[in-house]
Amino acid sequence: MIHRILGTLASAASQPSDERQPTPAVRLDGVTHEYGATGGRLRAGEQRTVTALRDVSIDVQPGETIGLEGPSGSGKSTILHAVAGLLVPTSGSVELIGTDLTPLSTRKRTHVRRQHVGIVFQHFHLLPSLSARANVALPLVQTGVPKRARRKRATELLTQVGLGDRTTHLPSELSGGERQRVAIARALATDPTVVIADEPTGELDTATGNAVLDLLTDVGRERAVLLASHDESTLAVADRVITLRDGQVVADGH
């Protein structure tokens, strides 16, 4: 059903009046987010609201890798979570290939995320009791792909990231760089339109981090990638770097 919604809206977005403007893979339009306000989350005992994003507008085209830079607390992760539909901003819209996620039910948003967004975290977030292959196959369980096809796809992806000989290893039997490569393979399992990576090299030494960045560069050739980091060499792989301060875009390096 979501495919139908996305299909309908994507074709509506490419009607003649918009012909010269391709539908962006991601569009944030006037996004403001307050944690602790409606739709946000507040830790127990916390009373105040925090304005994490103020009127943020960003377009990302397919094939474009965007770097999000800014000091800790400037709103990078909040943007990525909004793009993934993990949170609904207080105001503004978040579109994936022309479909606004903000009015969707949680169930539909989750469905869109599972189909169209791959997520890479700083701390890998692999399930410790599952093999590398089972971790990579996991998103395909959620999207209803049959077991044989899942195993085949997971093995192919692990081979692609250079881990064809590690498919049955547990995360605890892999190095940090290998774990992050498993996480990238997992992010690609559903062949997503958008990949978000939140400080993906934060836990890795320089050489290992660079190998992971090469991989993300490859990933970004066909997809929209949003990469949050405060590390210069990580940001160097981006086609465009957007700078945030206190939840506002202060530079968008077109």
Residue 78 binds Mg ion (CB under 5 A): no
Q: Which residues contact 248 (CB under 8 A, 6 or more apart)?
A: 53, 54, 55, 56, 75
The answer to whether the beta carbons of residues 111 and 2 sit under 8 Å apart is: yes
| In the complex, minimum distance from the CB of residue 37 to ligand ADP, in angstroms, rounded to a whole number | 10
**Exactly one of 15, 47, 72, 106 binds ligand ADP (CB under 6 A); which one?**
72
| 52 makes contact with ligand ADP (CB under 6 A) | yes
Q: Name the residue nearer to Mg ion (CB basis): 75 or 118.
A: 75
Q: Which is nearer to ligand ADP, 15 or 72 (CB)?
A: 72
Q: Look at the block and give the residue holding tokens 């304005």.
A: 51
Supply 28's token pair: 């944030």
- State both tokens at 91: 């105001």
Answer with the entry of Mg ion, ligand ADP, none that 124 interacts with (C-beta below 5 to 8 A by kind). Answer: none
Which partner, Mg ion, ligand ADP, none, binds residue 12 by CB below 5 to 8 Å per kind? none
14 vs 51, beta carbon nearer Mg ion: 51
Among 23, 65, 77, 102, binds Mg ion (CB under 5 A): 77
Q: Which stretch binds ligand ADP (CB under 6 A): 55-63, 69-77, 128-136, 218-226?
A: 69-77
Check binding of 74 to ligand ADP (CB under 6 A): yes
Which residue stretch of 25-33, 69-77, 136-144, 219-227 sits at the interface with Mg ion (rule: CB under 5 A)? 69-77
Give the nearer residue to ligand ADP in terms of CB position, either 36 or 62: 36
* Residue 41 binds to ligand ADP (criterion: CB under 6 A): yes
